[in-house]
Amino acid sequence: MRIAHWIKYQLLKYRLLDFSRITTFGWEVRLEGSSKCQLKCPLCLTGIGKHRNETVVGWGHLKFAHFKQFVDSHPRIRAIELSNYGEIFLNPEIKDILEYAHQRGVTLTAGNGVNLNNIKEEVIEALVKYRFGRMKVSIDGASEETYQIYRVGGSFEQVIRNIRRINHYKQYYGSKYPKMKWQFIIFGHNEHELPKARQMAQELGMTFKPKLNYKTKKYAVKDKDYVAQESGLGVATVEDYEKQRNHLYSPACLQLWSSPQINWDGKLLGCCVNFFGDFGNVFEQGLEQCLQSERYQYAKQMVLGEKPARDDIPCTRCKRYQRVKQMPFRESLLQEFKKSNRHKIL
């Protein structure tokens, strides 16, 4: 049995060497529900207004007509991640999107995160009624004062109220969906509230996920030992995390294979980080054609360190590109691949 597993593993490895064969691992994509956001979080490119005028992400909502057309023309897609740079609940057609996905048996998620400040009652009910899969709520504090330092323009009380409303409907419908996670980005100004937030998450039926922040100078944590222990991460900065484990804290490049990112207007971005350029328009050309384009294939080879950087590939301008080349990315890719069910149909 062990030998059989070993042979299977080697075969997978061999197939990954020929990665151009693989368009995606499975049946999941990321399709941004809205790039607009009402908050002004200082470390967020959306919050500081960069995407609005300066990048390919732009400023807009996914149209229901585009969502329907995409789902209808890609029947093999079974899961869609809706969140990325914006707040999906600002999309005026979000309820229609939730309902249609449910009708077509497509699971929706917001694993990248929502701020959950402004959401209509009918959408709260729709999240439960149409069995929205899972949702990560960004709450970086356990009090109004602390929360508002980073989530500028938001209201802690309002977010907690909305979570309670979702729980009310979960009880009413006897459903465990959407599963909710409390994401807490750790800064110097909020680290003392980690235990209280963890406790509140538990009381609200949410899992708790402390996250390291990327700006360790401006938003440095104060007590590194305490944060390392209290977060459960064993480290207090992204640098230490990557040094200790020798892989990226957030390996977004994997999404080129596992769940390609599509912008709200159909541009194929490949991963949730990319705002430098696109790989064609999925709404106009179809997903398969964009994924098989020479530039998309080249980007994957670049990330794997098998081709040199090229000016027309967005990754060339990405800070993570240099770092990913120095880490055992192919191994991470292989692990992702094994976790997916893709190998069953290869």
Residue 273 found at the interface with ligand SF4 (CB under 6 A) = yes
Q: Is 277 in the site for ligand SF4 (CB under 6 A)?
A: no
| Tokens, residue 238 | 């992204």
Shortest distance, position 290 Cβ to ligand SF4, whole Å: 15
Q: How far apart are CA 239 and CA 230, in angstroms?
A: 18
To ligand SF4, the closest distance from the beta carbon of 62 in angstroms equals 20
Query: Binding residue for ligand SF4 (CB under 6 A) from 81, 270, 277, 290?
Result: 270
- Give the SS3 label for residue 239: helix
Decide: is 194 part of the binding site for ligand SF4 (CB under 6 A).
no
Nearer to ligand SF4, 67 or 275 (CB): 275
Strands (E), the chain: 28-31, 79-81, 107-114, 134-138, 179-186, 207-212, 261-262, 268-270
Dump the DSSP string for 298-322. HHHHHHTTSS---TTSGGGG-HHHH
Residues 310-339 that bind ligand SF4 (CB under 6 A): 314-315, 318, 320-321, 324
Contact 331, 314 (CB under 8 A): no
Return d(Cα 335, Cα 318) in angstroms, integer.
Answer: 23
Q: Which of residues 233-262 bind ligand SF4 (CB under 6 A)?
A: 252-253, 256
Residue (213 or 274) nearer to ligand SF4, CB? 274
Identify residues 99-118 at the interface with ligand SF4 (CB under 6 A). Answer: none
The answer to whether residue 274 forms part of the interface with ligand SF4 (CB under 6 A) is yes
Residue in 126, 146, 144, 143 with CA at minimum distance from that of residue 135: 126
Of 29-48, which residues contact ligand SF4 (CB under 6 A)? none
178 cis-preceded (ω within 30 degrees of 0): yes
Are 63 and 283 a contacting pair, CB within 8 Å?
no
Residue 297 CB, shortest distance to ligand SF4, in Å, is 13
Q: Which is nearer to ligand SF4, 154 or 251 (CB)?
A: 251
H/E element, 124: helix 121-129
Tokens of 32: 């941004």
Site for ligand SF4 in 141-180 (CB under 6 A): none
**Residue number with CB closer to ligand SF4 (201 or 318):** 318
Which parts of this chain interact with ligand SF4 (CB under 6 A)? 252-253, 256, 270-271, 273-274, 303, 314-315, 318, 320-321, 324
